[in-house]
Amino acid sequence: MIDSISLELMLIGLFGVGSQWLAWRFRLPAIVVMSIVGLLAGPLLGIIDPEKSFGDLYHPIVSIAVAIILFEGSLNLDFKEVRGLGRPVFRIVTWGALVSWILGSLTAHYIAGLSWAVAFVIGGIFIVTGPTVILPLLRQSKLKPRPAKILKWEGIIVDPFGALLAVFAFEIIVFFTGDEKDLTALLFFFLASILAVLIGIISGKGIGWMFEAGYIPEFLKSPTVFIAVVACFTIAEEVADETGLLAVTAMGMVLANMDISSIKDMRHFKENISILLVSTIFVMLTASLSVDTLIDVFNLRIIGYVLLMLFLVRPLSIFLSTIGTDLSIREKILVGWIAPRGIVALTVASYFASILFEKGFEDAAIVTSLTFALVFFTVCAHGFTMSWLAKKLNLSAEGQPGTLLVGSNSFSVALANIFRELDIPTIITDSSWEKLLKARKAGVPFHYGEILSEQTEYRLDMTPYDYLISSAEFDSYNTLVCTTFIPTFGRNNVFQVDIDSSTGENVDNMVKTIGGRTLFSSEISLEELIYRVEGGCVFRKTTITDHYSYDQYLAGRDEHTVQLFVLKRSKQLEFFANDTEINVESGDIVVSLTPPSKEYNKIQAKLDSIRNN
């Protein structure tokens, strides 16, 4: 094992972020990769042992990290997003959680062999699906908006309540099994939970008020919120253990629903912090497991418990709790199958395992093994089957990567038409109904509204689109649109078309960190593209083959041809930009804007060939 704490910290970060990259590169569930890497680095190879190395700091580090992760998730709990989903979500997070707790506790007692006391404590913990797991899976799986929102809200809302339910069960057990039955301690915990919610609400309102009043400068907003989350969590925890998660969730929900313009900027910052924390903390937790814990995972009682939780407890709790709602049977099947457990379950279960064991419940010794088995098997089972099942149930929005076009004009409408011919999902959005006339006449899908409006997030489903092209009439507007959506689509997938300085608002010395990549060529302006389309230029699709190479295509093209994009054999799109060189291979389709004379000559040559034959 490594003796240097600095080196161990570096390796934890490297393993965590490296796992995320591997998961992205090979399209695997990130939690699965992190679990395997953590097990290899910890109990299997003995490279690191964070719990031993960090000592007393280990549990506070993990607890604060989980609080920040949960706060980041609760920042997405804008009530506008669940309009039309209120009843199913309410049922699932109340009656569904209750049914899951009771059935899970019964299964833990009769199948895993745990005492009633321990069974009801971990039964409460295991109602948690958790945003640390479900949100990354939703990003990768591309579900349709309705089931995706239900799973996201369930994961975030139930997350703190699972820990609280376990604490309530623990306090009741201590009360009934203790020599002195003191109602004061039980009443204190209930009051402390109410106080934790108040702390979260006051913290959220206070931070929101300071932001709106301008008492905090822009550069200090994210650090201020970061420290406020830690303070909110710590104060609640000092009052009563396990109430900190409830406090930070309340704080995040308050901020999310205050309509503060800075919240979106904080969401991006918190999301980046959350990804880093999820990566490192999950590696720390799995690396800290012992070999004995891993061996216990293969106990027949534990395996039987996991299987019943997967195939009986979860589906039954969803089906029973959603009776009378408008969820379809397909949505119930998908939601009833997807319930991966994550960091919160593993962290809280480890905490209670030690506390229960100290209280004399010897069967609590297998709780950590039981928890890890459930976490690992649910993450693997749901991570690898979520996309497949969604496609089978026709609840998947995944398909060929689509393109969102901002600004309606002759060129963007013609470009949208060529996308449709290639079966590429596309939509044009514009705030002018008059400018959308061309798109409406051409039968191109469109969205009428301001793309930068907050309401667009709720009215326009962006799931099918992986690329954004802004081709409005002002450079400054295109730059603002691209900068806004870089966190959503990624810098490499956001483009803008240059504007001719003589007619538009050309921004020559644009800072490189803002705006999108210049599409096609900086020498070709939007006005020139519109002029060519309206002048009769045509979109031409050229398939590169072994007998007709890309070099031959380049040699034979007209000098006025504008190369637009390449549709790869893998169905990915690669756009010709001023900072990109595309490797075009056999089987790829090159799409270009070609002068009509060139197209006419090709047609004439084909006709002459037919006549000669």
504 pLDDT exceeds 50? no
Tell me the pTM.
0.68
pLDDT digits (tens, 9 = 90+) for 25-46: 777 767 778 888 988 999 888 8
Confidence (pLDDT) at 406? 94
Cβ(529)–Cβ(500) under 8 Å? no
% of residues, the chain, pLDDT over 90? 23
419 pLDDT exceeds 70? yes
268 pLDDT exceeds 70? no
Cβ(327)–Cβ(406) under 8 Å? no
CA atoms within 13 A on the CB side of 442: 24
Model confidence band, residue 503 (pLDDT cutoffs 50, 70, 90): very low
Ordered domains of the chain (ranges, CATH): 5-392 (1.20.1530.20), 402-612 (3.40.50.720)
Cβ(593)–Cβ(529) under 8 Å? yes
Q: Are strands 517-518 and 494-496 parallel, antiparallel or unpaired?
A: parallel
Average pLDDT over residues 374-384: 86
Q: Which long-range contacts (CB under 8 A, 24 or more apart) does 350-355 make?
A: 350/285, 351/59, 352/121, 352/122, 352/125, 352/166, 352/170, 355/170
Closest to 348 in 3D by CA, of 153, 70, 149, 111: 70
Average pLDDT over residues 165-183: 69
- What HEC string does 357-371 produce? HHCCCHHHHHHHHHH
Q: Is 291 exposed, middle or buried (0-12, 13-18, 19+ CB in 10 A)?
A: exposed
Question: Which tokens belong to 78?
Answer: 């804008």
Lowest-confidence region among 4-13, 27-36, 295-304, 507-516: 507-516
Angle at 220 between CA 215 and CA 222, to 5 degrees: 115
Angle at 442 between CA 437 and CA 443, to 5 degrees: 100
Q: Is 140 exposed, middle or buried (0-12, 13-18, 19+ CB in 10 A)?
A: middle
Lowest-confidence region among 186-200, 378-392, 514-528: 514-528
pLDDT digits (tens, 9 = 90+) for 546-565: 888 888 888 888 778 888 99
Q: Which residues of 412-430 are buried (b: 16+ CB within 10 A; e: fewer)?
A: bbbbbbbbeebebbbbbbb
Confidence (pLDDT) at 252? 86
CA atoms within 13 A on the CB side of 128: 32
Lowest-confidence region among 99-108, 169-178, 349-358, 575-584: 169-178
Average pLDDT over residues 577-598: 83
Lowest-confidence region among 138-152, 222-236, 275-289, 302-316: 138-152
Cβ(260)–Cβ(216) under 8 Å? no
181 pLDDT exceeds 70? no
In sequence order, what are the beta bridge partners of 591?
A: 541, 565
Give the contacts of 611 (CB within 8 A, at least 6 positions apart). none
Confidence (pLDDT) at 410? 92
Residue whose entry in the numeric block shows the structure tokens 């994961």: 155
In sequence order, what are the beta bridge partners of 402?
A: 465
Q: Is 257 exposed, middle or buried (0-12, 13-18, 19+ CB in 10 A)?
A: middle
Sheet containing 538-543: order of strands: 538-543, 589-594, 562-567, 573-575
Q: Are strands 517-518 and 538-543 parallel, antiparallel or unpaired?
A: unpaired
Model confidence band, residue 396 (pLDDT cutoffs 50, 70, 90): confident
For the chain, give the mean pLDDT.
82
Cβ(449)–Cβ(439) under 8 Å? no
Confidence (pLDDT) at 277? 82
Distance of CA 109 to the CA centre of its chain: 35
% of residues, the chain, pLDDT over 70? 84
Work out the angle between the directed axes of helices 116-125 and 145-177 (0-180°, nearest 10). 150
